[in-house]
Each structure stands twice: as structure tokens, then as C-alpha cells.
Amino acid sequence: MLQVIIIPILPLGVPSDLERYFYNREKDLKRLKNHLNALNEDVAEQILITGYRGVGKTFLLKKMLNELPDNILVSYIDISRVYGNQRGNLKEELIMQYLLNSMNEALKDSSGKLKNIYNTVNHFLSKISLKKYDFKEAGNILGVAVPEGRNDYEKLSKFVMEFPQKVVESSTNIQGFVIVIDKFQLIGELENPSSFFWLIRSYTQNQDNVSYIFTGSVSKTSEIIQMINGQNGAFGGRMIQVNIDPFTQDELQGYLNEKVGELKFTEDGFRRFYECTRGIPAYINSFCNTMSSGEVYNSEKIKETFFEKMDQITVMWIQIWGTLSIHEKEIVISIVDKGPQKWNDLLKTVPVSRNTLAKYLDILKNKGIVVFSDQDGYKIEEKMLEAWIKHKKKVNGYYPP
């Protein structure tokens, strides 16, 4: 008898067909929507969303933004896009330009006054890309008085920060503006990230219809969390902090049944699969894509597949590894190779100066890759990254370059 074997194809990024692939997250969606609906009552909440890499923050946000009512405008920027274009040299000014561009795009399909704003700001944006700043026309149509005698960045940031509230005030149909800043941990690489957060805070304080959502995979001990929302941070603990958790075993079961029902697991095979992926959708999807319906997966088979297809399952890390600097890689490899280390040990095992070590450890913490614990010192927070690096060494004989 001919057996038809199905090999699932689950998305590795955020798919454009949101509905087809999205699973559950009912509670998170409801909670976020409630916070944003307060915009209708002129109450603007500021939100910080954290969670492991690949846990589904971006997918969740896209889904949520998609479901907001028409009287709330939405805009989304991904700092890694700004960062990528700058080859690692991130500048405030460029973030502001991206922000304005993305906020303005939210007006693209509108009519009347909002359409006029859209056209005027579009024209303004085309000029700043030529390094010509001329705030007169754009400032007038929005009613933003751009101060004379300041430098271009100061003028631009004032204009951009006032933009969303002014837009809401320009239209009786619009009640709020939601701005998502994704991969915000990369803001940590600005020369002065703290002042960037304080700048945003200084405007949001007086804006009743603008909600910012910052999101990224940062470790809870990272200083960027302190900077943005710690006691002495810009938002001083007033941001609403939401952590997105990995799928529970039950959720994983439901997800697999719904999306890839053709895959067959034994009970211990399923448990092993959960242990390997830790309930993180990015790994669940890439793991599933290496499996086939012609097999019954028991614990042994899952383990075997996991090591055999490691490169495919950890594909996310191959791409991220390529964005790390030489010093970041040296630190990570030293920790993987020699285990968790205290500061003084790291100084001996990584060939860099004190200052350089301090700087790159901070960056790695902000990226959620390294975490500090009083007990062990610095260790790798991302277990899958550690597994991948060890695997590379075993297979190739050397650590990934």
C-alpha cells in the first residue's frame, strides 16, 4: 500500500497570513488590548514587553495591532532594521527618521486633513534624506513650533515626538496612536541610550493619546531594563511590564494538533520534544519542519533528530551569530568552553582590556545572551545557542567563526 508522507511547513519568521498560523495567546491579547483601549478615555499607558528570543513577541504584536479598532492608528519599527543599515553604528537621528516615516505611513490611506499631513510630511522626509532639514511647512501643518537655533537632531526629535499627539488632535475620528518599537534592546548601543529614553518619557508625560510599546528579548537583569523602567530609569517603574511566556505543555499539544496534526508522538517522545524546544515557538516550528508524518516519534527518535538537524532547528542563531562583533563572540565562546565565570576569570580567558570586557558584557546582557548570577557569575542565558556552539565544535573541530 502506498503511504503518503507529509512534511510540515511552518513559518520561521512572522508570516503575512497571520490568521492561518497564529495560535492562542488569548489572555495576552486581551490584556494588551485593554491597556490600549484606555486611549479612548485619554489615558495613555506605556508598555514594555519582554520574553525569550523566538517566543512570539513580534507575532503577537502584529496580530494585536491588526485587531485594534480603526480609530487607533498604529505604527511599527524594528530597530534591527535601522541598525543593520548602519552596519552597527546606530544613531539617534536615524531612529527618529524611521519613526517619523513609519508614523506617517499610518496616515497613508486617510483623507482630508490627515492626507494633507501625510503628503507634507512625506515631502519633508524626502528632503531630510538629502540632509536638508526644512521644518517650516511640515511644522505649520501640524502646529508644532520647531525652535530656532537648535541643532538638527533637537529639532527633528521635537517634531517627531509631537507628531502622533498632533495627528490625533487633528482628526475627530482618531482617538489614539500606538507606536511599537521592536528589538528595543539595540537602543542600548547608542552612545547615550539613557538620554534617548528620557527624551521619549519627557514627551509621553503630556500626551494623553499616544502609547508606546517597547519590546525585545532582554534578560531581566540587563541594565537596559533598569534604564528604561527601573526606579531611577526614564519611566521610573510606571511602564506596564508584560512578559510573554513560552507555550506550556498543554499549549504545545494544542498547537501541534491544530497546525501539524499529521505528526505522531509517543508520550515520552512528546515530553522530550517539549524539553528540547522549551515551548518556544521558533524552535517548535523549525523542529517540526525537520519531521515527517511517516514516523512515530519516541524519545530516542526525538533526541536523534535533534542532534542530526541541529543546524536547521537553531537556524535563528546562525543569523544572529553573524551580527555579533568579534569581542562578543570571544566572550560567548569562552563561557561555553570553560563554563560560567566570574569577572576576574573572564578577564584572564578573554584577551581584551577591562573596559572592553565591561562594554561587551553589557551588550551581551542587553541582548539576552549572557546573564549574571551571584552564584555562578556570567553564564549563557540562551541554552539553544550554547547547544549549537558545542555542536559546531563537535562536528567541525572548531568553534563557529
64 binds, among Mg ion, ligand ATP, none (CB under 5 to 8 A by kind): none
b/e code 207-235 from CB counts within 10 Å (16+ = b)? bebbbbbbbbbbbeebbbbebbbeeebbb
**Taking a C-beta distance cutoff of 8 angstroms, is the pair 144, 162 a contact?**
yes
**Binding-site partner at residue 12 among Mg ion, ligand ATP, none, CB < 5 to 8 Å by type:** ligand ATP
Q: Report how far residue 289's alpha carbon sits from residue 323's, in angstroms, rounded to the nearest whole number.
A: 25
Instruction: Give CA–CA dist 117/94, Å, rounded.
Output: 21
The residue among 142 and 186 lying less far from ligand ATP, judged by its C-beta, is 186
53 binds, among Mg ion, ligand ATP, none (CB under 5 to 8 A by kind): ligand ATP
Of residues 41 and 67, the one with the C-beta less far from ligand ATP: 67
Of 24-32, 49-57, 109-117, 313-321, which part binds Mg ion (CB under 5 A)? Answer: 49-57
Which residue, 98, 102, 28, is CA-closest to 58? 28
DSSP character string of 41-70: GT----EEEE--TTSSHHHHHHHHHHHS-T
Cβ 21 to ligand ATP shortest distance, Å: 5
**Euclidean distance between CA atoms 386 and 389, whole angstroms:** 5
Nearer to Mg ion, 58 or 104 (CB): 58
Choose the one of Mg ion, ligand ATP, none that binds residue 217, judging by a C-beta under 5 to 8 angstroms depending on kind: ligand ATP
Partner from ligand ATP, Mg ion, none contacting 54, C-beta within 5 to 8 A by type: ligand ATP
Closer to Mg ion by Cβ: residue 180 or 276: 180
**Which set of grid coordinates corresponds to residue 201?**
518619557
305: contact with Mg ion by CB under 5 A: no
Residue 58 binds Mg ion, judged by CB under 5 A = yes
| Shortest spacing between CB 294 and ligand ATP, in angstroms | 24
221 binds, among Mg ion, ligand ATP, none (CB under 5 to 8 A by kind): none
Handedness of CA 224, 380, 337, 400 (dihedral sign): negative
User: What is the contact mask toward Mg ion in residues 6 to 45, using x (rule: CB under 5 A)?
Assistant: ----------------------------------------
Q: Is 370 helix (H, G, I), strand (E, B) or coil?
A: strand
| Distance of closest approach, residue 49 Cβ to ligand ATP, in angstroms | 9
Question: What's the angle, vertex CA 219, arms to CA 58 and CA 347, rounded to 5?
Answer: 135
- In the bound state with ligand ATP, the residue whose beta carbon lies nearer, of 21 and 135, is 21
Q: Shortest Cβ contact with Mg ion: which residue?
A: 58
How far CA 346 is from CA of 59, 73, 223, in Å, comes to 37, 48, 19
Q: Tell me which residue of 355, 384, 380, 350 sits closest to 368, measured CA to CA.
A: 380
Name 98's Cβ contacts closer than 8 Å, sequence gap at least 6.
77, 81, 82
Q: Quick one: 23 or 198, whose CB is closer to ligand ATP? A: 23
CB of 96 or CB of 282, closer to ligand ATP: 282
Stretch of residues binding Mg ion (CB under 5 A), selected from 53-61, 223-231, 256-264, 283-291: 53-61
Cβ-proximal residue to ligand ATP, closest one: 56
Order of strands, edge to edge, in the sheet holding 47-50?
72-78, 176-182, 210-216, 47-50, 240-243
Angle formed at CA 301 by CA 299 and CA 305, multiple of 5 degrees: 120
Residues that bind ligand ATP (CB under 6 A): 11-15, 21-25, 51, 53-59, 217, 281-282, 285
**Helix, coil or strand: residue 313:** helix
Instruction: Name, in order, each residue with C-beta under 8 angstroms of 354's C-beta and a sequence gap of 6 or more.
Output: 347
285 contacts Mg ion (rule: CB under 5 A)? no
Please choose which of ligand ATP, Mg ion, none residue 285 contacts, taking the beta carbon within 5 to 8 angstroms, the exact cut-off set by kind.
ligand ATP
Residue 272: contacted member of ligand ATP, Mg ion, none (CB under 5 to 8 Å, by partner type): none
256 CB-contact burial (10 Å; exposed 0-12 / middle 13-18 / buried 19+)? buried
| Smallest separation, CB 145 to ligand ATP (Å) | 38
By beta-carbon proximity to Mg ion, the closer residue of 63 and 272 is: 63
User: From Mg ion, ligand ATP, none, which one binds at residue 246 (CB under 5 to 8 Å depending on kind)?
Assistant: none
Binding site for Mg ion (CB under 5 A): 57-58
